[in-house]
Chain A
Amino acid sequence: DGGITQSPKYLFRKEGQNVTLSCEQNLNHDAMYWYRQDPGQGLRLIYYSQIVNDFQKGDIAEGYSVSREKKESFPLTVTSAQKNPTAFYLCAIQTDRDTEAFFGQGTRLTVV
C-alpha cells in the first residue's frame, strides 16, 4: 500500500515532556513537510526537508525539531520549549509546486 503514514493518531503529553510524531512515506518523494493546524487558523508550516540530512525551518519552527536520516522518514519532535503544543499535526509530501500535496491522516496532540 503506497502512501503516508502518521503515528500515533492521538498523543497526550505532560507539560515539560518532549514527544515525537512519526511520519513515514513509501512514495519515494524527496520533499516532506510538517504542518500544524489550529482551529480557525488553517495550516501553518513548521519544518520541511528537500533531501536526506537536510531540513529548513518553516513559519512556526520555534519549539520543534526534526531529523531526516532516511528518505522515507521525517519525524517531528515537539519539545518542552513549545508553549502551546496542543494542535493537529499533518505531514505531507509534494513533488513540485505544480503538483498536489499528499497528506497523512494526522496526529492530534493534547497537553494534559
Chain B
Amino acid sequence: AQKVTQAQTEISVVEKEDVTLDCVYETRDTTYYLFWYKQPPSGELVFLIRRNSFDEQNEISGRYSWNFQKSTSSFNFTITASQVVDSAVYFCALSEAGRNTDKLIFGTGTRLQVFP
C-alpha cells in the first residue's frame, strides 16, 4: 500500500539551529513523485519541492535542502540556520498513479516551531 510516514509530530528549535524533518514512504510503483509542502498559520499549502524516483540527486535551495535515498525510502528535508518565519506545519507527499487519476498521499505532517 502507498503510505507516507512523518514520525516527528512536533519539533521545537531555537533560531539559527539546523533542523531535519524526516519522511519515509512506501510504494509499489517504480515511477513515483515526492513532494514537500509548507502550511503556515494562514492554512494554505505552499509547494516547496518535487522529486521523481529516478533523480536521487540532492537539492539545495537557499537554506533548504533535501536528501532523497531510494535505498531507505526516505526524502528528508533540512532547514539550515532556522528562522522564526520557518514556523509552520510541513507535509511530505507521494503522488500515486490511481485507476482514474493521480492523487497525493500525505503524511501526517510535522509542526516546526522556531523560537527567537
**Chain A residues engaging chain B, CB cutoff 8 angstroms:** 31, 33, 35, 40-45, 48, 50, 56, 58, 88, 90, 92, 94, 96-106, 108
CB-CB < 8 A to B68: which residues of A? Answer: none
Q: Give the tally of cross-chain contacts (CB within 8 A).
A: 64
B103 to chain A: closest CB distance in Å? 5
* A50/B50 in contact, CB under 8 A: no
* B9/A40 in contact, CB under 8 A: yes
Complex CA–CA separation, A74 to B33 (angstroms):
25
B10 to chain A: closest CB distance in Å? 10
Main secondary structure of the interface of A (DSSP, over half): loop
Do A105 and B43 contact each other (CB < 8 Å), given the known contacts A31-B101, A42-B109?
yes
Do A97 and B108 contact each other (CB < 8 Å), given the known contacts A40-B9, A42-B91, A103-B44?
no
CB-CB < 8 A to A97: which residues of B? Answer: 32-33, 95-97, 102
